[in-house]
Chains A and B, each alone.
Chain A
Amino acid sequence: MQDHPSVPDEMEPSLARYIWRHTRAQQVWILFIVLASMPTYFLALDLPKQIVNGPIQGRGFETAETTQTYLTITAPFTDIVLYDGVQLTRTGALALLSAGFLLLVCINGLFKFYINTYKGRLGERMLRRMRYELVDRVLRFPIPQFRKMKAAEVSTMIKDEVEPLGGFIGDAFVLPVFLGGQALTALGFILFQDLWLGMVAAGIVIVQTLFIPRLRRILIKLAKQRQLSARQLSGRVGEIVDGVAAVRTNDTSNWERSEITGRLGKIFLIRYEYYQKKFFIKFINNFLAQVTPFLFYSIGGYLAIRGEINIGQLVAVIAAYKDLPSPVKELIDWDQQRVDVQVKYAQVAEQFSVDAMVDSSLQAPQSEPVPPLTGRIEVANLAVTDDSGAKLIERAAFSADVGEHIGVIGGVNSGAETFVEALARLVPITSGSVQVAGRQLNNLPEAITGRRIAYVGSDGFLAHTSLLDNIIYTLRHAPLRPRPAAEDDDASQARLLAQTETLLSGNTPLDIDDDWIDYESAGVSDMDDLIERVLDLLALVEMDGDIHDFGLLSSVDTERFPELADSILVARARMREKLSDSGLSAHVEPFDPDRYNSEATIAENLFFGRATGKEFLDAGAYAHPYARKILADTGLDEKLFAIGVQIARTMHELFADVSADDPLFDQFDFFRPEDMGLYQAALTRLGEASFAGAPADLRDMFLKLPFLYAEPRHRFGLLDDDLRADIVAARKAFRDNYPEDLAGAIAFYDPAAYNTAASIEDNVIFGRIASGIAEAPERIRALVLEILADLGLDRTIRRAGLYFDVGTAGKRLSQAQRQKVNVARALIKKPDLLLFNRGLAGLDPRTQATLQKRIMDLAAGKQDKPFGLIWVVSQPRMAEDFGRVLVFKDGILIEDGNPQELKKNGGYFARLLH
């Protein structure tokens, strides 16, 4: 295993030190390059003057034949001539100097390019390091810390607040050194010219450097407030998103609006004040910069008039001073930026400096298998208090074997839940000790607790990925098998670069693309086995029906399940047989390329497929140029236009007096109540005009209407056999001329092929269920299920269902489903001890009892190796099956023993049972 870069526990409070520590060598290098670039830079500034003075104005070239010597090279600091140079005429010199200028421009450009890229990369690396360290810290925060933080605030700190630091890091040291050098040179020159004037200039600069930072303190305060209020804003927005149900069900949206307005107002005022102060400081700054020349002109002029200094000196000083303000000004700007980022950094560092962080050694990655957890759990004098100091558990003492099956009973706040949370290390122990297998629980690495102990709580949080990924999440502890070698040189180069950069930024070298799945601890040998195991566990928690449905309603990924598509086609054929055998043929109107499907919309009949892209989706399809071309070629546009006009007329006639909120409108998805006025006006404008005579916008309006029209649903009686035949003909034209670049836009219906855009169920039915027949959908569904079961496809369909996307925080699943998934993911890692904290609370009592029984059987070793259970039950009765129960009341463990005996003894447990 590679070394894990350890992130220090303390955050460096000073940004400058932090940058220096990590980029020392690079900062020196970049300074060296900057200095190296200076000679050519000054040469490039000087050369234009030479060109103008020499060849252009003709100084030194008084006659056409005069030549000058160029490119003489002397050894530095001596008079020894190494190269005599060349003699050039005026045009020759112009050509040489111009070419030299071009060369210098190129060299300078390249220097600039190198320096900027280097600085940018340096900044990005530091930014990457910083973000990584912040996330690393979040992963190691003590659990109670998460009750005080808002997720959105943490993410805005990591994402936004450190962002400006990246741009600053490259300039952190180079710029002040460079600009400071320039300023000092100019100042030195002035001092050299005239001591007194030099001191005046130096005095003003000193006032600037002392005075400005003082003014800036108030800016720093404002910048802090600005950052804090912006962070709180994102925290609040996150809260609105998470708590939208409470907002909508309590009519509090306006309170939220006003709350946000208040915050935005505060932010505005802070920022406004900030700008006022900032530009005031700028004003002072500019003023001070201009005071110096004022002093030069007035005092220096006076002295010159009095003859105390000579005019040449004064002019030289004023000229030198021209070069002083620019570096000083830039230096002050740089300092402004430094202050800004330092504040940002300090604010973030403060938030992430948390006491009692998990030691990084406890989270060290471990790829070797962890030996089973055996021995005893010893709890002595355990006390837990919450933030406010209230005692949740007092003086609990308890000893058990890891493999025991223990039921924990107690109402809300009795301490039962806290007890199990303390064992799971989810609440910190205030005093006392908890030992597992002879070691303090707090000192056990997460590699042991996280793999050998499983915890199931009632809040089943899932990540936004597939169901399968969520279940096998608990098997991803360390990269176990490297990913396959790169296929070509380019790929391996890219990989190498990625690895180098990762190390240079101090990120973890563990590669996310390696295979992390710990098949061994799940007791399987490969992914196929693992999936079987997942399916078994989902059956155990009674979720097999749900995943079967997910599978049926999902479209098959034919790459993942290459044979399934063929089997579905067999099922489709069998469906036809079954329908006709059982006299149910009328229940389904199949998709037949040569027939109009009366249950489907006109659009579906025309395109004869399912839209997979935006091009032909819903009513928007009418506007697609290819669709328009086919409609025009087949003359269908005119006919559909006429249908559209009829639809508009009928709608107007029928719905003129119907209120807009009538649910009747719901079935007309192509005609919203608010369209009524528009179409009424359009009908008036159209008058008796036909398609040919209608203006373009009216054509569009009416042509669009029939696309989603389906006769059985809307029943305007608009279609006749001729029109149906025309649509089928247009369907063929549409298919035959279908352009290749639209290949992804429609999955065409083909009786002999699997339709990749449709669900498995729709593929089996391959048609539309007839309307007007009672219970037809139910009967067809039953038939589909029967056929798929007969073909032995249930397992495969469930496998397909495992790729169901659970949505953000698993919200596409019900709470009960999320809890079931959590149980399955706890069991898949085959723990030695399962801590169960009301993990089935969202289920009905009957299912809870069934699942508890099954898990207890599993724990007893009926299928596999046995494991221990510590189980907080929701009903005292459910604890009777355990060999031992712990009863908590008001934070005190009041009874501990065999449930039957406790029952006999008639204590608190016995009373709870009645």
Chain B
Amino acid sequence: MSSIMDEVELLRRIPLFSQIDTNKLKLLVLASERLRYASDQVVMRQGDTGDAAYVIINGKADVVVRSDDDEQVVATLGRNDIIGEIAILCDVPRTATVRATGDLDVLKITKERFIRLLSDFPAVSIGVMRVLADRLARTTHELYSAQAELAARGS
């Protein structure tokens, strides 16, 4: 059983939370839930409504997007990555399925707490924005190359 202080130390090493003072981190620990997933267990499922975001503490997870009958791994996430924030920020269903590959430890933060965190700590907001912007840049880039590839095939 890990006590509150161990968990605070753990959270402090996550870049997103590095700016938060100890006391607030303790509250974050109390308000969140540590969960362990075994290999192949699903953390969230595409299309479900989202009520929490997750921060990976240990292990790896695949992000899988399903379209019709086809499944595609679009990304693999690891330690310190944040998942599930889109659904709770935009009130949309989960945009992808996240599945553990090997043992996976996550910190589950409820929607309400997550939003409170963003409004209390500009640094966390900026961190989350950075993650989202990164993803957008990457997606744009991929979209661009996919379109180029399509155009190349079509011609």
Do A and B bind?
A: yes
In the assembled complex, B112 has its CB within 8 A of some CB on chain A: yes
If A712-B1, A717-B3 touch, does A664 touch B33 (CB 8 Å cutoff)? no
Q: Measured between C-beta atoms, what is the minimum distance from A778 to chain B in Å? A: 11
Assess whether B3 is in contact with A653, with CB atoms less than 8 Å apart.
Answer: no
Instruction: Give the B interface residue count (CB, 8 A).
Output: 22
| Nearest chain A residue, comparing its CB with the CB of B104 | A774
If A663-B112, A711-B1, A715-B3 touch, does A772 touch B36 (CB 8 Å cutoff)? yes
| Nearest chain A residue, comparing its CB with the CB of B100 | A774
Assess whether B30 is in contact with A715, with CB atoms less than 8 Å apart.
Answer: yes
In the assembled complex, A559 has its CB within 8 A of some CB on chain B: no
Assess whether A654 is in contact with B31, with CB atoms less than 8 Å apart.
Answer: no
Q: Mark A312-342, 1 if CB is under 8 A from B, else 0.
A: 0000000000000000000000000000000
Q: Which residues of A contact B29 (CB under 8 A)?
A: 715
Q: Which residues of chain A (770-802) have a CB below 8 Å from chain B?
A: 771-775
Q: How large is the interface on A (under 10, 10 to 19, 20 to 34, 35 or more residues)?
A: 10 to 19
Q: Mark B2-37, 1 if CB is under 8 A from A, else 0.
A: 111111000000000000000100110111011111
Assess whether B23 is in contact with A653, with CB atoms less than 8 Å apart.
Answer: yes
Q: Which residues of A contact B37 (CB under 8 A)?
A: 774
Q: Which residues of A contact B3 (CB under 8 A)?
A: 715-717
In the assembled complex, B109 has its CB within 8 A of some CB on chain A: no
In the assembled complex, A667 has its CB within 8 A of some CB on chain B: yes
| Nearest chain B residue, comparing its CB with the CB of A719 | B1
If A774-B43, A775-B41 touch, does A715 touch B27 (CB 8 Å cutoff)? no
Assess whether B33 is in contact with A772, with CB atoms less than 8 Å apart.
Answer: yes
Interface centre among A664, A715, A775 (most CB of B within 10 A): A715
Partner of A772, one of B31, B35, B38, B41: B35
In the assembled complex, A155 has its CB within 8 A of some CB on chain B: no
| Nearest chain B residue, comparing its CB with the CB of A773 | B36
Q: Which residues of A contact B2 (CB under 8 A)?
A: 715
Q: Which residues of A contact B36 (CB under 8 A)?
A: 772-774
Q: Measured between C-beta atoms, what is the minimum distance from B143 to chain A in Å? A: 33
Assess whether B27 is in contact with A658, with CB atoms less than 8 Å apart.
Answer: yes
If A658-B27, A667-B30 touch, does A717 touch B4 (CB 8 Å cutoff)? yes
Q: Mark A199-240, 1 if CB is under 8 A from B, else 0.
A: 000000000000000000000000000000000000000000
Q: Which residues of chain B (129-149) have a CB below 8 Å from chain A?
A: none
Assess whether B35 is in contact with A598, with CB atoms less than 8 Å apart.
Answer: no
Assess whether A715 is in contact with B112, with CB atoms less than 8 Å apart.
Answer: no
Partner of A664, one of B7, B30, B34, B38: B30
Interface centre among A663, A664, A774 (most CB of B within 10 A): A774
Q: Mark B27-57, 1 if CB is under 8 A from A, else 0.
A: 1011101111110010100000000000000
Q: Measured between C-beta atoms, what is the minimum distance from B44 to chain A in Å? A: 11
How far, in angstroms, from A663 to B33 measured CA to CA in the complex?
Answer: 14
Interface centre among B1, B2, B27, B34 (most CB of A within 10 A): B1
If A772-B34, A773-B35, A773-B36 touch, does A654 touch B27 (CB 8 Å cutoff)? yes
Partner of A715, one of B7, B23, B35, B38: B7
How far, in angstroms, from A655 to B1 measured CA to CA in the complex?
Answer: 23
| Nearest chain B residue, comparing its CB with the CB of A668 | B30
How far, in angstroms, from A714 to B34 measured CA to CA in the complex?
Answer: 12
How far, in angstroms, from A772 to B37 measured CA to CA in the complex?
Answer: 9
Partner of A654, one of B1, B7, B26, B41: B26
| Nearest chain A residue, comparing its CB with the CB of B41 | A774
Assess whether A717 is in contact with B30, with CB atoms less than 8 Å apart.
Answer: no
Q: Mark A163-197, 1 if CB is under 8 A from B, else 0.
A: 00000000000000000000000000000000000
Q: Which residues of B contact A664 (CB under 8 A)?
A: 27, 30-31
How far, in angstroms, from A663 to B38 measured CA to CA in the complex?
Answer: 30
Assess whether A774 is in contact with B35, with CB atoms less than 8 Å apart.
Answer: yes
Q: Which residues of A contact B7 (CB under 8 A)?
A: 715
Q: Which residues of B contact A711 (CB under 8 A)?
A: 1
How far, in angstroms, from A376 to B116 measured CA to CA in the complex?
Answer: 71
Q: Mark B83-125, 1 if CB is under 8 A from A, else 0.
A: 0000000000000000000000000000010000000000000
How far, in angstroms, from A602 to B96 measured CA to CA in the complex?
Answer: 41
Q: Measured between C-beta atoms, what is the minimum distance from A583 to chain B in Å? A: 9
How far, in angstroms, from A658 to B7 measured CA to CA in the complex?
Answer: 20
How far, in angstroms, from A311 to B75 measured CA to CA in the complex?
Answer: 127
Q: Mark A706-728, 1 if CB is under 8 A from B, else 0.
A: 00000110111100000000000
How far, in angstroms, from A598 to B1 measured CA to CA in the complex?
Answer: 9
Q: Which residues of B contact A654 (CB under 8 A)?
A: 23, 26-27, 30
How far, in angstroms, from A616 to B91 measured CA to CA in the complex?
Answer: 45
Assess whether B27 is in contact with A716, with CB atoms less than 8 Å apart.
Answer: no
Q: Which residues of B contact A715 (CB under 8 A)?
A: 1-4, 7, 29-30
Q: Mark A616-652, 1 if CB is under 8 A from B, else 0.
A: 0000000000000000000000000000000000000
How far, in angstroms, from A711 to B7 measured CA to CA in the complex?
Answer: 14
Q: Measured between C-beta atoms, what is the minimum distance from A474 to chain B in Å? A: 42
Q: Which residues of A contact B1 (CB under 8 A)?
A: 598, 711-712, 715, 717
How far, in angstroms, from A775 to B100 measured CA to CA in the complex?
Answer: 13
Q: Which residues of A contact B5 (CB under 8 A)?
A: 717
The 8 closest A-B pairs by CB, nearest first: A717-B3, A774-B37, A774-B35, A715-B4, A772-B34, A711-B1, A773-B36, A664-B31
Could you tell me which A residues sit within 8 Å of B by CB distance? 598, 653-655, 658, 663-664, 667, 711-712, 714-717, 771-775
29 CB-based A-B contacts, threshold 8 Å: A654-B27, A654-B30, A658-B27, A663-B31, A664-B30, A664-B31, A667-B30, A711-B1, A712-B1, A714-B30, A715-B2, A715-B3, A715-B7, A715-B29, A716-B3, A717-B1, A717-B3, A717-B4, A717-B6, A771-B33, A772-B34, A772-B35, A772-B36, A773-B35, A774-B35, A774-B36, A774-B37, A774-B41, A775-B41
Could you tell me which B residues sit within 8 Å of A by CB distance? 1-7, 23, 26-27, 29-31, 33-38, 41, 43, 112
Extra contacts, 10 of them, besides A654-B27, A664-B30, A715-B2 (Cβ < 8 A), are A655-B27, A664-B27, A715-B4, A715-B29, A715-B30, A717-B4, A717-B5, A772-B34, A774-B37, A774-B41
